[in-house]
């Protein structure tokens, strides 16, 4: 009876578990998604073209999107089949094979039907045989799917940007960073109206900035720094009305900044360092209230800071106008930039007294005022000098000095002399003070000895004039001692 009961119980358990087992079996069959044959062949051939013919993908990775995945390859299922959606070539991962010196762009690269991202990192490293150029054919075949195209740190990649790049209409990110590319920027880059990031930095591009780039109304980042670009900044730059970061530093761009730059209402970074811009500060910059970093240093801009509504730029954190040929005084309105951390006005022709309001800026951590013609006494507190240390630069202002009471402090401004101080002496006979323009003397018979003292004395300077104060003081003391004796 008990045996019969156990058999019946076992039958019930098997009956209950059977659907679950069948379901798991079916699920396992469903996960074995096949990859389209031509897609797989394109993948093997494309990678082999860059790493060398020794690489046998079909043996090493028989299921590249399944149980034998290839690092640097992303896949997705479309209509029940695996397709390549992302491909990274180069030693992005530790165990990824390096590219061969004979790397080539095979036609299979342009056969991927759903490729969204394509990256080449440190693949073309040798410039032997005049380097390797980017294939100029077939890029338009990826125009319906490719959203991101990047070439990073490929010094052996030379030649021009292919015209075909301007046909990848869905492209949102084009990064050509630190390669060996040269030539002019193609005008048809302005056709990429979906572009959000355009990085062309660290190459050898020449010529001007195409006016067509003003069509890129969705662009957030434009970085073409560290090239050899020339000409003026086109007025159409104002069409980039979504841009956050504009970096054109370290080129040979010239002329006056266009008024249309004031249309960039979302701009947070403007870096034009080390170009040849001139014509004074463009007034429309004061309308870009979103600016956090304005770097215009090393440009012969000229003009002055007055008449510019600095108080509008309340988001400004970095203001670098060093080596720009500025004249005149520093306006009081710069003292209203409460978020300012870095102020660079060094190596200009600025004059006048420095406002103590600068010390009241709560976030200020670095001030560079050296190499100008500022004058008068610095009115900053001892606490300010202790806070700033060497990050406060005011040297090479020959008519600038600091208060004498700071002489005992170890935190005096570097390279700045102490101010001149009025001196007075006691009349030896009456015990009353004489002005330094009066004479100090004692009559002996018919002979009167008089001593004329200077109205002021210079001390403690960095040009070796400490001895002047010490010597003059010693003479006065010796003479007075002689009178008393």
Q: Which of 130, 189, 186, 177 is nearest to 151 (CA)?
A: 177
First-to-last alpha carbon distance for the chain, in angstroms, is 140
Residue with tokens 């000409």: 231
Q: How far apart are CA 273 and CA 301, in angstroms?
A: 11
Cα separation, 212 vs 187, whole angstroms: 6
Taking the C-alpha atoms of residue 195 and residue 266, their distance in angstroms, rounded to an integer, is 17
Distance CA 81, CA 90 (A): 27
pLDDT of the residue at 421 = 65
Residue in this structure with the two tokens 């590249």, named with its chain if needed: 64
What residues have CB less than 8 Å from 182, skipping those under 6 apart?
Answer: 158, 159, 160, 203, 204, 205, 206
Other CB atoms closer than 10 Å to residue 262's CB: what's the count? 17
**Computed from CA positions of residues 385, 387, 389, 392, in that sequence, does the dihedral angle turn out positive or negative?**
negative
The pLDDT of residue 33? 82
* Nearest of 78, 77, 100 to residue 89 by alpha carbon: 100
Domains defined for the chain, CATH in brackets: 73-91+110-418 (3.80.10.10)
CB 346 within 8 A of CB 372: yes
pLDDT of amino acid 454: 35
Place of tokens 């500025």: 326
| Strands of 18-116, DSSP E | 73-78, 81-89
> For residue 205, which phi and psi values (nearest 5 degrees)?
-65, 145
Do residues 203 and 181 touch, judged by C-beta distance below 8 A? yes
Q: How much is the pLDDT for 44?
A: 95
pLDDT at 127: 62
What DSSP string runs through 402-469?
E-GGGTT-S-PPTT-EEPPEE-EEE-TTT--EEETTS-EEEEETTEEEEE---SEE--S-TTSTHHHH
**Over its length of 485 residues, how does the chain's per-residue pLDDT go in tens digits?**
444 444 444 444 434 444 443 343 333 434 568 898 999 999 999 999 999 999 988 898 999 999 999 989 999 999 999 999 999 999 877 777 788 888 899 999 999 999 999 999 999 987 665 679 998 888 999 999 999 999 999 999 999 999 999 999 999 999 999 999 999 999 999 999 999 999 999 999 999 999 999 999 999 999 999 999 999 999 999 999 999 999 999 999 999 999 999 999 999 999 999 999 999 999 999 999 999 999 999 999 999 999 999 999 999 999 999 999 999 999 999 999 999 999 999 999 999 999 999 999 999 999 999 999 999 999 998 889 999 999 999 999 999 999 888 877 778 899 999 998 654 443 434 444 444 333 333 333 333 333 333 333 333 333 434 434 444 444 343 444 444 44
3-state secondary structure of 17: helix
Output the pTM of the full model.
0.81
DSSP string for 98-155? PPPTT----GGGGG-SS--EEEEES-----GGG-EEPP-SSGGGGTTT--EEEEEEEE
Amino acid 6: pLDDT: 46
């Amino acid at each position: 009876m008990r045996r019969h009961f156990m058999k019946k119980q076992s039958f019930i358990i098997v009956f209950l578990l059977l659907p679950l087992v069948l379901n798991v079996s079916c699920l396992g069959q469903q996960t074995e998604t096949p990859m389209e044959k031509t897609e797989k062949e394109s993948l093997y051939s494309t990678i082999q073209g860059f790493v060398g013919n020794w690489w046998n993908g079909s043996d090493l990775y028989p299921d590249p999107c399944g149980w034998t995945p290839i690092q640097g390859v992303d896949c997705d299922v479309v209509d029940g089949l695996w397709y390549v959606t992302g491909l990274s070539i180069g030693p992005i991962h530790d165990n990824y094979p390096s590219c061969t010196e004979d790397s080539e762009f095979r036609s299979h690269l342009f056969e991927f039907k759903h490729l969204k991202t394509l990256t080449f990192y440190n693949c073309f490293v040798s410039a032997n045989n005049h380097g390797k150029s980017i294939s100029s054919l077939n890029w338009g075949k990826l125009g319906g799917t490719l959203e991101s195209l990047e070439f990073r740190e490929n010094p052996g990649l030379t030649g021009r940007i292919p015209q075909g790049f301007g046909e990848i209409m869905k492209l949102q990110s084009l990064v050509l960073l630190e390669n060996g590319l040269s030539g002019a920027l193609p005008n048809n880059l302005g056709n990429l109206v979906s572009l959000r990031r355009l990085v062309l930095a660290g190459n050898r591009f020449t010529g001007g900035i195409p006016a067509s780039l003003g069509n890129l109304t969705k662009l957030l980042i434009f970085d073409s720094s560290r090239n050899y670009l020339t000409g003026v900044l086109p007025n159409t730059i104002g069409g980039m009305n979504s841009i956050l970061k504009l970096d054109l530093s370290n080129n040979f761009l010239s002329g006056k900044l266009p008024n249309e730059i004031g249309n960039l209402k979302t701009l947070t970074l403007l870096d034009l360092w080390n170009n040849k811009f001139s014509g004074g500060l463009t007034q429309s910059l004061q309308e870009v209230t979103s600016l956090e970093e304005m770097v215009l240093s090393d440009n012969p801009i000229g003009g002055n800071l007055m008449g510019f509504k600095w108080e509008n730029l309340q988001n400004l954190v970095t203001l670098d106008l060093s080596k720009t040929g500025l004249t005149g005084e520093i306006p009081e309105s710069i003292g209203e930039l409460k978020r300012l951390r870095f102020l660079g006005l060094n190596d200009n022709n600025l004059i006048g007294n420095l406002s103590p309001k600068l010390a009241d800026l709560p976030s200020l951590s670095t001030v560079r005022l050296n190499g100008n013609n500022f004058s008068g006494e610095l009115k900053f507190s001892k606490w300010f000098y202790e806070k700033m240390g060497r990050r406060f630069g005011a040297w090479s202002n020959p008519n600038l000095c600091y208060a004498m009471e700071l002489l005992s402090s170890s935190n005096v401004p570097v390279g700045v002399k102490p101010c001149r101080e009025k001196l007075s002496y006691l009349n030896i006979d009456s015990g009353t003070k004489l002005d330094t323009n009066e004479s100090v003397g004692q009559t002996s018979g018919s002979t009167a000895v008089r001593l004329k003292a200077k109205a002021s004395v210079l001390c403690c300077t960095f040009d070796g004039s400490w001895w002047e104060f010490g010597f003059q003081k010693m003479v006065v003391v010796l003479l007075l001692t002689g009178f008393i004796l």
